[in-house]
Amino acid sequence: METLITILVGVLVTVAVYLLLSKSLVRVILGTAILSHAVHLLLMTMGGLKKGAVPLLGENAENYADALPQALILTAIVISFAVTSFLLVLAYRTYKETGSDNLAVLRGFEDE
């Protein structure tokens, strides 16, 4: 199972890198979103994908699931959500100001 998910992470990273390298700003932003999904999956996989009971003492189970990666992912999701929404607003403002979302065109604004 871990191997499968790791391969999936690799595929997601490939897709994200492809998007990041494109010239359209919106694609770049989507790329960062996919990139963060990939790392969330990686965090989950690194904690070990085992079937276990809820990590509470009263459960008296053989195995317990590791709760820490899930807490980490939750935090990371919130952060990447905030950053992505900020980036989208920024892209919109940039488009309104400059009339372009093409990163190659946007390079020229050294001075106003």
Q: Does 112 bind another protein (CB under 8 A)?
A: yes
Q: Which residue has the tokens 């992505």?
A: 84
Rounded CA separation 20/34 (Å): 10
Size of the site for another protein (CB under 8 A): 35
User: Does residue 35 touch another protein according to CB under 8 A?
Assistant: yes
Q: Is 86 in the site for another protein (CB under 8 A)?
A: yes
Q: Which 5-34 positions form the footprint of another protein (CB under 8 A)?
A: 20, 25, 28, 32
Q: Return d(Cα 62, Cα 53) in angstroms, integer.
A: 8
Closest-CA residue to 101 (of 34, 18, 21, 28): 28
Encode 26-48: b = buried (16+ Cβ within 10 Å), e = exposed. eebbbbebbbbbbbbbbbbbebe
Binders of another protein among residues 39 to 78 (CB under 8 A) are 39, 42-43, 45-47, 68-69, 72, 75-76
Would you tell me which residues interact with another protein (CB under 8 A)?
A: 20, 25, 28, 32, 35-36, 39, 42-43, 45-47, 68-69, 72, 75-76, 79, 82-83, 86-87, 90-91, 93-94, 97-98, 103, 106-107, 109-112
